[in-house]
Amino acid sequence: MVQFHTGCWNGRFALRCAESPIEHIFVGAPLSREQVANLPIFNFDETLARGKIRQVHGCDLLDLREAEPNDDTTPADGILLLREGGYFGSFVLKTADCLPVLIWSQSEVALVHAGWRGLAHGIVERTCSLMSGPLNVCVGPFAGAESYEVGEEVISEFRDPVASALSNGKFLLDLGGTLRRSLASQPVEQFIISDCDTISDERFFSYRRNRTSERNLLFVRVE
C-alpha cells in the first residue's frame, strides 16, 4: 500500500500522505530540472494566515480552535485547529532533522514540530490529549534511526527511548520508534511514518548533514 505520494512543489521535492484527508504537503530541497520533469506537480496555496509560530523546541501549542491568534508571532511548536468552522487558512512548520507531525481526528487537525527535546518532554502526547479521538498520526521526513547519533545526555532525557548503543559511547536514537512507543496509551487509530532520512537523503535539508540554515516545510490548509 502506498503511504506517500512523491512530487514537486515550486521546484522542490515534496511528499503527500496518501491516507490523509487533510490538505497538506511536506516540502524538501530544490530539485534539478531533470528531476522536476520526472515528477508530478503538487499544487498548494501557501498563502499564510496570521497563525504563525516561532518554533523554540518546547512543548507549547497555539490553540486556534476557539480563538483567533494575535498578530505577533507566538513562541510555540504546534498548532491546533478545527477542520471546519474555525480559524482557516494555511499554516506552516519548519524542520531540519526534527519530526514534522500531522495529526487529525474527525473534527480537528494539528501540526507539531517535535525535536528530541519536545519529544522527550511529551509535546506529541500533550497534543493528542487535547484532541478528541480516534486519532490519525502522520510523520514526515526526519533524521533516521541509522543516522541520528546522540550522547548519553540526550538519551537520559527520555523515559523510554528506542535507541541502540555504539562502541564509541554514543547512541543511535530512533526518533520515529520513540514517538510510536510514547503514543501507546493514546487513541491512535492509524500511525503513518515516512522512511525518508533527512540526514542521508539529499532531497531534504539537514542541519546534521551540513549545518544548513534552510528548512523543510510542512504546510497544512483548513477551510
pLDDT tens-place string over residues 101-149: 999 999 999 999 999 999 999 999 999 999 998 999 999 999 999 999 9
Has residue 94 got a pLDDT over 90?
Answer: yes
pLDDT on residue 66: 80
User: Alpha-carbon torsion 183, 184, 187, 192, what sign?
Assistant: positive
Q: For the ranges 77-86, 113-122, 136-145, 200-209, which has the lowest average pLDDT?
A: 77-86
Number of folded domains that form the chain: 1
User: pLDDT tens digit string along 172-196?
Assistant: 999 999 999 999 999 999 999 999 9
Q: What is the mean pLDDT of residues 82-91?
A: 86
pLDDT on residue 33: 95
Helix (H, G, I), strand (E, B) or coil at 76: coil
> Cell triple for residue 21?
484527508
On the 0-12 / 13-18 / 19+ scale of CB atoms within 10 A, 62 is buried
CATH number of domain containing 146:
3.60.140.10
Q: What is the mean pLDDT of residues 82-109?
A: 93
Domain of 56 in residue numbering reads as 4-222
Give 3-state DSSP helix, strand, coil % of the chain, rounded to 5: 15, 35, 50
Has residue 71 got a pLDDT over 70?
Answer: no
Task: Say what the pTM is.
Answer: 0.95
Q: Give the whole-angstrom CA distance, residue 123 versus residue 132.
A: 16
Q: What is the mean pLDDT of residues 206-216?
A: 96
| CA angle centred on 204, ends 22 and 114, rounded to 5° | 60
Has residue 48 got a pLDDT over 70?
Answer: no
